[in-house]
């Protein structure tokens, strides 16, 4: 369940499409299922950086919106 959630959040943050390996792979091999069971399957460094960058941009955007919104208390 956690893998599926991480995979789908990856789509939300990184966009559509799959990759040849890792969490964003379309289908998992037996070796990848074993890695998943041992929690060794993760986003690669480039995908981790992209996710962090998008999350920071979203956070900065929501802060800017709340500062500029006169209806916010």
pLDDT digits (tens, 9 = 90+) for 11-43: 888 889 898 877 788 887 888 778 777 776 677
pLDDT in tens, 7-18: 888 888 888 989
- Measured in degrees and rounded to the nearest 5, phi and psi for residue 7 equal -60, -50
Q: What pLDDT, on the 0 to 100 scale, is given for residue 73?
A: 44
Q: What pLDDT, on the 0 to 100 scale, is given for residue 48?
A: 87
Q: Hey, is 41 helix, strand or coil?
A: coil
Higher pLDDT, 66 or 40: 40
User: What gap in Å lies between CA 67 and CA 39, rounded to an integer?
Assistant: 40
Q: What pLDDT, on the 0 to 100 scale, is given for residue 27?
A: 84
Burial readout 11-37 (b: 16 or more C-beta within 10 A, e: otherwise): eebeeeeeeeebbbeeebeeebeeebe
The whole model's pTM is what?
Answer: 0.51
């Amino acid at each position: 369940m956690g893998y599926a959630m991480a995979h789908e959040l990856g789509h939300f943050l990184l966009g559509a499409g799959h990759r040849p390996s890792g969490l964003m792979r379309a289908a998992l091999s037996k070796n990848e299922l074993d890695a998943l069971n041992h929690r060794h399957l993760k986003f690669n460094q480039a995908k981790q950086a992209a996710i962090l960058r998008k999350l920071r941009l979203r956070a900065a955007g929501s802060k800017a919106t709340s500062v500029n919104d006169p209806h916010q208390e």
